[in-house]
Structure 1
Amino acid sequence: MNPIDLVLVEDDPMVMEVNEGFIKRIGGFRICGKAKTGKRALEIIQELRPRLVILDIYLPDFNGIQILREVRRQGIPTDIILITAAQDVATVQAGLRFGVVDYIIKPFKFERINTALNNYRTYSEQFRNRGEMNQEDLDRLIKILPSQENPSNRIREELPKGLREITLQQVYNFLKESRVGLSAEGVAEGVGLARVTARRYLEYLEKNERVILETQYGSVGRPINKYKIVL
């Protein structure tokens, strides 16, 4: 199978180098273009029309959402993954409304972008050699996208004071990617939260039946509580 052409947009040279290393490590993708500014990013996207763009939001000239909007306005058939430090709900919603296939919040680990690109590859392969799709095909395809597993799509009640929707999503996604039960300490370290804060989000997800709590007993010491995604 031919590699998927990808354009990488990031203004920080060190972050660009790290992301490039991650992508090469994953395999199956070919970086056909790189840009450090929004203007150059648009030029490359218009010229190459890559299958996928990994786009930072904070660029020296344009906001990444502006680039995303312009790509959609021009009807360029390119999928976009946003990678950014922006966590405010308005920015997240803007990205989702303009059809990003994933939204990764900095700082992130290799496992997160690995999951995003593998999901995208699976998603993209579903369209190969197909003339049409039935409902079952579409349902299976939609479930591949991470946004479908966003806990905010399923938990409708107002969050308790002190909890943030975007952090709830980070905690949920981290658990989902781990595929095994994790302690509050493990989640706190992986997401970058205080242990007590991580526990509050985990308890909220458990209350809403999005995670289950498993207590593991060892031969010595106190039992360990681990949280696991409800499948």
Structure 2
Amino acid sequence: MFKVLLIEDDPMVQEVNRQFVNMVNGFKIIGAASNGLEGINLIQQLKPDLVLIDVYMPNQDGLKTLKQIRSKGYKVDLIAITAASDMDTVRSFLQQGAFDYIMKPFKFERIKKALENYRSFRMQLNEKQTISQEELDEVLFQGELTARADLPKGLNAFTLTKVSAYLSGHSTPISAEEVAEGLGIARVTARRYLEYLEKCRKVKIDIQYGGVGRPINRYILLNN
């Protein structure tokens, strides 16, 4: 049973998150805080496995709280659940090691998928003292991506994971340029990973035509 702490200032959203988490096998809410300062105190007291955190909160926002969690060395994982959709915030959370990033409003299926992926990730890692690259790739991709021996030359599993996670934080199609800027990688690099994901049928291309110039390919992660 994974212990979960909620850090969310809106009481209604906090209650929805509580109900959603309790509907997923293997997870138990052990506490809730209305801001980052309260959240840090509860992390110290309750020692949760996983924190679900908002970004915009009074008395210390989510990003500052995450940085404090990392600087203090707390052994806790984190999933952001927030209305923040700007690329700087998404990139900052991913760079600080957030396991997933879910944008409001969201459906139960999205948080269920995030929690199930987390459970699989933790359980597989806990069973091993050492791990091979192939086994690690299987854990990182939750068995959904064919990213092992057949990964094309020049692509690596870590970056592919980041691209996939970045896409999962967006409910609308985004361009290769937006992915590149969000993750701090070259646009041509982002395009290669997106094209590979499309080839694996993990993303769908949405071609958007503007007034002048070439059409823009935008990508969205498929929920399959």
| TM value normalised by structure 2 | 0.68
User: Could you tell me which of 198, 208, 218 is aligned with 1:200?
Assistant: 208
Determine whether 1:53 maps to 2:72: no
Q: Is the 8 A contact 1:102 1:147 kept in 2?
A: no
Q: Is the 8 A contact 1:12 1:36 kept in 2?
A: yes
In the alignment, what sits opposite 1:16? Answer: 14
Post-superposition offset of 1:180? 10
**Stretches of structure 1 lacking an aligned partner (at least 5 in a row):** 167-171, 185-197, 212-227
Matched AA of 2:137? D
Post-superposition offset of 1:59? 1.1
Higher relative contact order (CA 8 A, sep 6+): 2
Determine whether 1:33 maps to 2:48: no
Q: Between the two proteins, what is the percent identity of the paired residues?
A: 37
Post-superposition offset of 1:200? 3.2
In the alignment, what sits opposite 2:145? Answer: none
In the alignment, what sits opposite 1:191? Answer: none
- String of CA shifts for 1:15-54, please: whole Å, max 9, x gaps: 1111111111122101111111211100001122211000
CA distance in 1, matches of 2:138, 2:117: 12
In the alignment, what sits opposite 2:164? Answer: 149
Q: Is the 8 A contact 1:52 1:79 kept in 2?
A: yes
CA distance in 1, matches of 2:182, 2:217: 12
In the alignment, what sits opposite 1:126? Answer: 124
Matched position secondary structure for 1:158: helix
CA distance in 1, matches of 2:89, 2:110: 20
- String of CA shifts for 1:188-208, please: whole Å, max 9, x gaps: xxxxxxxxxx7739x824xxx
CA distance in 2, matches of 1:54, 1:32: 12
TM-align CA RMSD? 3.5
CA distance in 1, matches of 2:35, 2:76: 18
User: Could you tell me which of 105, 108, 111 is aligned with 1:110?
Assistant: 108
In the alignment, what sits opposite 2:148? Answer: none
Matched AA of 1:50? P
CA distance in 1, matches of 2:175, 2:45: 42
**Stretches of structure 2 lacking an aligned partner (at least 5 in a row):** 143-157, 168-173, 184-193, 210-215
Matched AA of 2:62? G
| TM value normalised by structure 1 | 0.66
